Amino acid sequence: MKIMITGVSRGLGQALSYEFSKLGHDVAGCASTQSAVLKLQAELGANHHFSTVNITRDEEVSVWVHTLANSWGVPDLVINNASIVNPPSPLWHVPVNQFEDIMSTNVTGVFLVIRHVLPLMIARGNGFIANISSGWGRSVAPNVASYCTSKWAIEGMTLALAEELPQGIATASVNPGSINTQMMRTVLNPDEIDAPLPDEWVKTAAPFFLALSDKNNGEQLDI
């Protein structure tokens, strides 16, 4: 299977890249941190393609997706994983640029990947797009309102998209659950986190993603 993942420089995206490769699948990933991209490429080898991409920029996403399609192929599974969070703060204290960065990465970035990869999947007749959400995309918590806003947007976008898709193409939102990542440690006290590390989480998550099918179209899933 050919699997495209955004946000592979750390956390879930990086762990999934290693695990899918280990399981024999071809991975194409992107991140904004060039050193992490080069490290993944060197370690996983020529069957995999990792690129430095700013997913908030339409032209960069377009070039990435279409270059991959020509040299590597159209992905069978896309995992829109790239996401950021601001330091905990009441919403009215969040700087405008922080709020805009969260919305650009967490929402616009997902839209742009969909915008460019979906026509290729439709032309081929199959494909699955998994949009990573959060428990905070279906509930709320104080001091992370901007992050909650972005993930509620992902839930709504995915539900609406599912109703637009032709037969053979599917999408679902995926709540990955609590994982001990750098992002989680940004908003919670590390001593209070009782959650698996990404390398543990991925042993359950990778088979979960590989089992997704058009029967899951429009579902709000949990790992």
Contact (CB, 8 A) for 25 and 1: yes
Nearest to residue 28, comparing CAs of 11, 8, 42? 8
Between CA 151 and CA 68 the distance in angstroms is 27
Q: What is the DSSP letter of 151?
A: H
Structure tokens at 46: 């020529």
18 is catalytic: no
210 vs 52, 78, 99, CA distance in Å?
A: 25, 11, 33
Nearest to residue 219, comparing CAs of 175, 168, 166, 153? 175
Catalytic residue among 147, 152, 201, 209: 147
Q: Which amino acid is at 103?
A: M
The whole-angstrom distance between residue 198's C-alpha and the CA centroid of its chain comes to 14
Backbone phi, then psi, for 173, in 5-degree steps?
-90, 145
**Helices and strands (DSSP H and E) totals, the chain:** 8, 7
Looking at 94-181, list the stretches that DSSP marks H as alpha helix, in order from N- to C-terminal side.
96-103, 109-124, 145-164
Contact (CB, 8 A) for 100 and 152: no
**Which residues are the active-site residues?**
147
